[in-house]
Structure 1
Amino acid sequence: MTPLLELQDLGVTYRTAGGEVEAVRGVDLALEPGETVGIAGESGSGKSTVVASVLRLLPKSAKVTGRVLLDGEDVGAMRWGRLRAARWSEASVVFQGAMHALNPVRRVGKQIAEPLRLHTGASAAEAEARVHELLAQVDLSAAKAKAYPHELSGGQKQRVMIAMALACAPQLVIADEPTTALDVIVQAQVLDLLGRLVEERGIGLVFITHDLSVLAATCSRIAVMYQGLIVETGNAKEVITAPRHEHTKALAAAFPEVGDPVSRYAPATAEPLPEEGERDPQSPVLLSARELRVHFRDRAGSAVAAVGGVDLDVRRDEIVALVGQSGSGKTTLARTLLGLQKPTAGGVYYDGGPVPTSASGLRDYRRRVQLVLQDPNSALNPRHTVYESVAEGPRIHGLDADEPGTVVAALEAAELRPAEQYLTRLPHELSGGQRQRVVIAGALALNPSVLVADEPVASLDASVRGEILGLLLRLRRQLGLAGLVITHDLGLAWNIADRVAVMYRGELVEVGPVEQVLLEPRHDYTRALLAAMPSPEPDDVWPAG
C-alpha cells in the first residue's frame, strides 16, 4: 500500500544574515491511511518546519532537500496549479493558536466556506449547507456560523479551525499544537473529536505537540524531534513507558502524573531546589477574600455573576493553585484580588486589613502583590531593553530604579546570571524561558510579598516549564513569598502547590491540601477535571488503520 504521506531524507536549511541554519536534518517518516502519528519536541526542534514542508508553506529563504510524497506524488515537483489543488482538498493543516488564526472581522461560517468556494466551486447555498454539516460534525450548532471569533470560547474556535480543515474532505490532516492553552475539559473534547474523525472517516492524522501525555491518548506511533533530527521513534507505549533518548525522558518528566510522589515539589529542572523544611500550615494569612462577588452586565442589561461568594486565603510561604476550566471565573477573581477589578460585594484583605481604596493606598498594595502574566511575548515591550523592562515598575512606584544593584539583584533572583549580560538585550534576543524570567524579575524588583501567576508556563516548552516552576518554588522557599498560581493544568498544581482551590461557575467548590483534593476529590467537578486529563499510559489509543 502506498503511504498517504512519506518523508524521505527531508532536510530544511534557512538562509539568514548570519549564515545558513539547519532546521531539519535527514527526517524519514511515513503515515498510512487511517493512522495517527505524533511528532513531539520543543520549540526550535523542527516540528513546525516539517509541517510547513508538506504543503510547501516555507518562506523563500528555506532550502529543501530530500522528498515529500503525498499519496506517492512528489510535492516538491508539483506545478503551482497542482499544488494549489492539493492544499485543503487532499491535505490540510489545523494551525496552532486558534485564538489568533481566525479573521476577527469575518463571521466564522464565511471562513469555513472559503476553501469550499475556492476548491470545489460550490454555490453559496451549497457552501452554506456544507458549513452547517461541518459544524454539526465538530459538535457546534448551525447558529455559530453567524458568530464572530470573539463571540466563541477557545474550544469553540479550535473546533471551527478543525471544521475548516475538513471542509474539502482531505485524506491527510496535520494538527499543529491544536490543544495548546486549552483547559483539560476542552482539550479532552477536541482530542475526542479528532479521534472520532479518524475512526469514522479513515483520515490520516499527524499530531504535533510537546506534551507526550496528549500523544499517548491519541497516537499509535510517536516520533521525537530534537535539534532538527528524529532521535527516537516507535509505537506510543514503547516510547512513553520506556524512552531511550535523554530528550524523550526530559519531555516525559516535564508533565508529571497526578499522584506520583516523586514529582511533588520536584519539577524537572537543572538547578537543585533548596531543602524542603517543615512548613507551618497556620502561618500568617497575607492575602484573602471574604464573600467576594463580582457581577457584570450582559447586552440586555442583566447581571451575570462572574464570581459568587468566594472565600480564599493565601498564607505566607505557601503556593495555592487556583484551577478550573476557561470561563470558570479564575482570571476575574485574580484581577479583583490584585485591585484591578472592583468587587460588587465582599472584600479583599491584605496582611490582616482591608485593601485600601485610596489611590495612594491602592498603589502601595499593588507593589506588595505583583502579577506575573501568562504570555511573556505580550507582557514585554519589544522596544525596551531588559533593564528598562525591569526598572519600569520601581520607577512607576516612585522608587529609585537606578539605585546600584536594584535591577541586577532582581535579575539574579530570577536566575538570569550573570545579570550584566542581559541588561541591554531586547525581548527578541531572548528565549521564551528567559523572557518569562524577565517578567518575574520585573515583579521581584518591587520586593513583593505575594506573586499572582496567571498560567505562568502555558506558552513555554517542556524543559523551560520545569525551570520556571523550579524558580517559583525556590522563590517561595528562599524569600518566603506567597504564591497564587492560576492554571488549568492539574499536573502543575500537583508539581508545586501546597493547596488547591477548584473554581466552577464563579464559585470555589473544593479547597484543601493538594493530596486531598487531587487524590480524594469530593466534588463531581473536580472528578471531571481529573478524568479529562490525558493519561500518560497509552493503553487506549485511536485505531491505527
Structure 2
Amino acid sequence: MTPVLELRDLRVTYAGGHEAVRGVDLTLLPGQTLGLAGESGCGKSSLAMSVLRLLPRDARVSGEILLDGEDTRAMSWGRLRAVRWASASIVFQGAMHALNPVRRIGQQVAEPIRLHGSLPDEQVEARVAQLLEQVELPAGKARAYPHELSGGQKQRVMIAMALACGPRLVIADEPTTALDVIVQAQVLELLTRLVAEQGIGLVMISHDLSVLGSVCERLAVMYQGKVVELGAAPTVVHDPQHAHTKALAAAFPTVGDPVSRYAPATTNPAGLPARVTPSAGEPLLRAESLRVDFRQRGGGWLRAVKDVSLEVGRGEIVALVGQSGSGKTTLARTVLGLQQPSGGRVVYDGKPVPASSRGLREYRREAQLVLQDPTSALNPRHTVYEAIAEGLRIHRMPGDERELVAAALEAAELRPAERFMAELPHHLSGGQRQRVVIAGALALRPRLLVADEPVASLDASVRGEILALLLRLRAELGLAALVITHDLGLAWNIADRVAVMYRGELVEVGAVEQVLLAPRHAYTKSLLAALPEVAPVT
C-alpha cells in the first residue's frame, strides 16, 4: 500500500540559521492516524505547513515530502494548487481567525469546491449541505456568519471545508485548543468517525498527549526539531521513555490520581509548598443569590446567572468549572463589580461590595483579575515595568514605585526583576507574559485573585509552572483564588473545592474529591465522561 504521506530526512531552516525541523522521518498510510505532540517552538507546525509548502518565504526546506508518492517540493505551482484541498487539506488552529467574518458559512465551505471545479455550480449547494451534515451541523447554518456560531461549531465548519474536495490526507493543527471538554469530545469523536468512514490519513497536532492518544493509533513526540519518541499511542502515553515525553504526560494529570493532587508538574527549584489548610470562619468572598439578566436583541431577557450563591474562604482556591456559555465569566465579572447584578449581592470581608466608584476602586485593589490571554491583556507598546506600574499609579499605592514593581516581579518568580523591567511583551515567552499579568495583580497586594482560564493558552510545561506559582502564592501570601476553567484536571491539581456551573446555575458544589470522584449531578458526570481516555498498554 502506497503511503498517503512520507517524510524523509525533512529539514526546515529559517533566516538566521534557526533549524526548526531536523531530519524527521515519518510515514502515514491511508486510514491511519498519527498524533504529533510537542510544545510551542518544537517544530510540529513547521513540519505540518511544509507538506503543502505553506511556510514563509524565508524558510528553506530539504529532504523529501512524498504525497501519494509525489514530492511536493518538486511540484510546479499549478500542480501544487491542484493538490491543495483535493489531495491534502489543513484544519488550521484557531477557527475564530481562520474563517472570514464577513462571508456566510456556506460560501466559505463552497469556496474550495468552486476553486477546484470538482462539481457543476448547480450541485455545489447540495454538496455544502451534505458536508455540514457530515460534521453534524444543520444545513441552515450555511446562511450563518462565523460570529453567530459557537467555538465548537466553527471548528466543525473548518473540518467540513477540509473535507470539501475529498482529500486523502487531513492535517489538523490543534483542532481542540480552547474548546471546553464536552465540545472537545464531540470534535474528537467526529474526526475519529470520519477517518473510519472515509479512509483518510489524519495527522493531528497538539501539546496534550491524552487528546492525541484518544484519537490516534501512533504518536510522534517532537522536541527541538527532532522526533524523540515514536510508537503506539497507549505505549507512548502510559510508558513514555524520553524525558520530554514524560514531562508532557505529567502536565495533564488524570482526575483521581493521588500523586497529582496539589502537585502540578514543575521543574522550578522552589518546588511545591506544603499543603495549606484554608482559614475557617467568615469567608473572604460570598455571593448571595446573584442574578444577572441581559436584554436580548429581539426583545425579552436572557438570565445568564440564576440565583447563584458561592463562597471563597480566606486562603482557599475554588475552581468554577463548566462549558462555554454556562455563565462562569459573567459570574466572575459580577463578583468583581464589573457587571451589575439584577438581583442578589456580593459580600467581601463581611461587608457588601459598594456600588460607588470610590468604594469599587478600593475593592478592586484587593480583588484582582487575571485574564485568560496574556498577549491581549498586555499593551504591546508598554514595557513590563509600565504594565505593572500602571495599576500602582491608578490606585496611588504608597512607597517607591520601582521597589514595588521589583517586588511584584520577584513574587511572580520573574528573577532577577531588573532583567525583565525594560522588556516588551513580544520578547517574552507565553509563560513569562502570564507571570507579568500575575505580577501586575500582585503589585497591589490583593487578598483575592479571580483567574479566568489562566493556563488555557499555555504550553504543557508552562501550565504546570503557573499552577505551581498559584499554590506558592497561596502558601506565602495567604492569597485566595477563584479560578474559572473548563479543565477538570486543573481543578484536581490545585483546587480545594469545585463549583460546577450549568446554564447559569450552580448544580454541584463541594470538596474536589467529593465532586470529581463521586459526582451526584448528571451534568458533572457528563463533564467527567467527556475527558479523553487512552486505552492501557496491552
- Normalised to the residue count of structure 2, the TM-score between the two structures is 0.98
Asked whether the 8 Å contact 1:217–1:538 carries over to 2, the reply is no
Matched with 2:469 is 471
Asked whether the 8 Å contact 2:132–2:139 carries over to 1, the reply is yes
Where in structure 2 are there 5+ consecutive unaligned residues?
none
Q: Which moved more, 1:31-40 or 1:529-538?
A: 529-538
- In 1: Cα distance, 2:529 partner to 2:99 partner: 30
Matched with 1:366 is 364
* 1:51 and 2:48 correspond: yes
Matched with 1:256 is 253
Matched with 2:350 is 352
- In 2: Cα distance, 1:481 partner to 1:364 partner: 17
- In 1: Cα distance, 2:317 partner to 2:286 partner: 13
For residues 502-536 of structure 1, the C-alpha deviation after alignment (integer angstroms, 9 at most, x for no partner) is: 00000000000000000000000000000000014
- In 1: Cα distance, 2:26 partner to 2:501 partner: 43
Amino acid at match of 2:8: Q
- In 2: Cα distance, 1:414 partner to 1:124 partner: 59
Shift of 1:180: 0.4
Do the aligned partners of residues 410 and 131 (structure 1) sit closer, same or farther apart at CA in structure 2, a change above 3 Å counting? same
Q: Which moved more, 1:270-279 or 1:111-120?
A: 270-279
Matched with 1:485 is 483
- In 2: Cα distance, 1:45 partner to 1:431 partner: 14
Asked whether the 8 Å contact 1:391–1:401 carries over to 2, the reply is no
Where in structure 1 are there 5+ consecutive unaligned residues?
541-545
- Structure 1 segment 250-289 matched on structure 2, within 5 A: 250-271=247-268, 272-277=270-275, 279-280=277-278, 282-289=280-287
2:123 pairs, out of 123, 126, 133, with: 126
Amino acid at match of 2:454: P
- In 2: Cα distance, 1:87 partner to 1:280 partner: 57
Q: Which moved more, 1:401-410 or 1:48-57?
A: 401-410
- In 1: Cα distance, 2:169 partner to 2:273 partner: 51
SS in 2 for 1:491: helix
Matched with 2:334 is 336
Asked whether the 8 Å contact 1:322–1:501 carries over to 2, the reply is yes
- In 2: Cα distance, 1:278 partner to 1:344 partner: 36
Matched with 2:9 is 9
- In 1: Cα distance, 2:456 partner to 2:431 partner: 11
Asked whether the 8 Å contact 2:238–2:537 carries over to 1, the reply is no
- Structure 1 segment 74-223 matched on structure 2, within 5 A: 74-120=71-117, 122-223=119-220
For residues 416-435 of structure 1, the C-alpha deviation after alignment (integer angstroms, 9 at most, x for no partner) is: 00010000000111000000
- In 2: Cα distance, 1:101 partner to 1:342 partner: 34
1:438 pairs, out of 422, 436, 439, with: 436
Asked whether the 8 Å contact 1:386–1:422 carries over to 2, the reply is yes
Asked whether the 8 Å contact 2:498–2:509 carries over to 1, the reply is yes
For residues 320-367 of structure 1, the C-alpha deviation after alignment (integer angstroms, 9 at most, x for no partner) is: 000001110001101111111110111111111110001100111111
- In 2: Cα distance, 1:368 partner to 1:278 partner: 21
- In 1: Cα distance, 2:400 partner to 2:9 partner: 54
- In 1: Cα distance, 2:115 partner to 2:252 partner: 42
For residues 26-81 of structure 1, the C-alpha deviation after alignment (integer angstroms, 9 at most, x for no partner) is: 00000000000000000000000001100000111001110100000000000000
- In 1: Cα distance, 2:278 partner to 2:8 partner: 59
Shift of 1:277: 4.6
Shift of 1:215: 1.2
- In 2: Cα distance, 1:80 partner to 1:315 partner: 63
- In 1: Cα distance, 2:326 partner to 2:306 partner: 11
Q: Which moved more, 1:220-229 or 1:142-151?
A: 142-151
Residue identity over aligned pairs, in percent, reads 71
Matched with 2:405 is 407
- In 1: Cα distance, 2:458 partner to 2:50 partner: 24
Amino acid at match of 2:453: E
Shift of 1:310: 0.2
SS in 2 for 1:483: strand
Matched with 1:419 is 417
- In 2: Cα distance, 1:278 partner to 1:429 partner: 35
SS in 1 for 2:326: coil
Amino acid at match of 1:9: D
Matched with 2:242 is 245
SS in 2 for 1:170: coil
Amino acid at match of 2:100: N
For residues 175-214 of structure 1, the C-alpha deviation after alignment (integer angstroms, 9 at most, x for no partner) is: 0000000000000000000011001111110010000001
Matched with 2:392 is 394
Q: Which moved more, 1:485-494 or 1:528-537?
A: 528-537
Amino acid at match of 2:265: A
Q: Which moved more, 1:516-525 or 1:393-402?
A: 393-402
Amino acid at match of 2:77: W
- In 1: Cα distance, 2:18 partner to 2:340 partner: 51
Which stretches of structure 1, 4 residues or more, deviate above 6 A after TM superposition? none
Asked whether the 8 Å contact 2:389–2:401 carries over to 1, the reply is no
Do the aligned partners of residues 339 and 7 (structure 1) sit closer, same or farther apart at CA in structure 2, a change above 3 Å counting? same
SS in 2 for 1:422: helix
SS in 1 for 2:14: strand
Amino acid at match of 1:488: H
Asked whether the 8 Å contact 1:183–1:488 carries over to 2, the reply is yes
What is the number of residues matched between the two proteins?
Answer: 537
1:28 pairs, out of 25, 28, 33, with: 25
Do the aligned partners of residues 254 and 274 (structure 1) sit closer, same or farther apart at CA in structure 2, a change above 3 Å counting? closer
